[in-house]
Amino acid sequence: MRRRVFLKSAGAVTLVVVGSALWRVHNRGVLSVGEGPAFEPWKDWQSTQNTPLALVRAAILAASPHNTQPWLFKVSATSIDLYIDTKRTPGDLDPYLREEHIGMGCALENLMLAASANGYAATAALLPGKLMPAPLHSGPDLIAQVVLSASPKRSNDLYDAIPRRHTNRNPYEPLPLPTAFVDEISHMADSEPDVSIHVFTANAERHRIAQLILRANDVVYADPSVERGSQRWLRPEWTDVQKYRDGLITDEFGQSPWTTAALKAMPDSWRRYSFKHQLLRTTSYADFLRTVPLFGIIAVRDRYDREQCIAAGRIWQRIHLLTTVRAFAGRPANELVELVDHEELRKQVPTAIADLASVIGDREWQPTFVFCLGNPIRQASPSPRRPLTEVLI
């Protein structure tokens, strides 16, 4: 009799435990990578073809720092105005909105590629300006105006790669990239008078850059105000991923599928700690950087010139799309330039500027974006995106 009662009780407990586990798995998106409303823009990006809205749908799939998605668009039948939403920033991590403007350049590049593919000739006019420390409270700021007219459709490989381009933080194979591909990357800014690309594949160069990035990472993220600004864009909760549709999520850590699933299924308090630890941990980041086969640096004449920042963003988006076409992967590694901003804002000795100048060997150019390219061990998951209705004004 007692044994029967025990077995019934054990069965009930087992059902509760299993049921709770299954609820956790479902509610926290453990088995729902890339699913839900937050990821629909990757799937319906061509649902309004041959209209100006098709250009915006492509633009919102662009890269942006911390996945802040700082873009807004005003659309008519013959034009699209691009605005930067200066409230969508990671605070002191990007005090001059330099990286935010690079993200706007990424969006503009997607938009221009989509114009040709949807039967438009597009001409973009950038509004000049000098980047200054971001105000605490501001609003949309017009940065570019695109005029549209009818034209024969002309698609290309970069446009087709837009829905497949994802920032890939997984480890890269320590194998050299094909020489022809490296040469393609190094010449992608040849037509831009105010942008240059510097590519580094030699062991000594790559190891030195990795060490400089790690040192910069330690300095920048040791600042509590930087960490607070960055924390705003962390989305450890699956419900928040679907609600806000922006920011950095667990699926993008670059961990194995099993580790990612375990992180997402953790109890709340454990998961929040682990999320922060996994994002900022330096050991595995150091391991990653030491095996990267290619570092690239995009430089401009003036890193605080708005037009040049946007031009640099267009180049990065183009590089990342070509990397996708060639079945390789890319991600930013921009802590060293973030240290430039950090030291500039605080009027400190410009050590990062000197380090970057020594790396590229030309003081006429000012590095503004550092990136990694390689052959990843696994494909990246998509990042959340705000829908079209939230970016139109």
Look up the pTM and report it. Answer: 0.90
Q: What is the pLDDT of residues 112-149, one digit of tens each?
A: 999 999 999 999 999 999 999 877 657 899 999 999 99
Average pLDDT, the chain: 89
Q: What is the pLDDT of residues 288-334, one digit of tens each?
A: 999 999 999 999 999 999 999 999 999 999 999 999 999 999 999 99
Please report the pLDDT score of residue 31 as a whole number.
61
Please report the pLDDT score of residue 2 as a whole number.
46
User: Do 9 and 15 contact (CB within 8 A), yes or no?
Assistant: no
Q: What is the pLDDT of residues 206-259, one digit of tens each?
A: 999 999 999 999 999 999 999 999 999 999 999 999 999 999 998 887 777 777
Q: What is the pLDDT of residues 73-126, one digit of tens each?
A: 999 999 999 999 999 999 999 999 999 999 999 999 999 999 999 999 999 999
Give the pLDDT band of residue 284 (cuts 50, 70, 90).
Answer: confident
Pairing of β 294-300 and β 195-200 = antiparallel
Q: What is the pLDDT of residues 352-389, one digit of tens each?
A: 999 999 999 998 999 999 999 999 999 999 999 999 99
Give residue 307's Cα distance to chain centre.
20
Q: What is the pLDDT of residues 3-55, one digit of tens each?
A: 444 345 445 444 433 444 444 455 565 766 889 999 999 999 999 999 999 99
**Least confident window among 141-155, 247-261, 264-278:** 264-278
Please report the pLDDT score of residue 282 as a whole number.
47
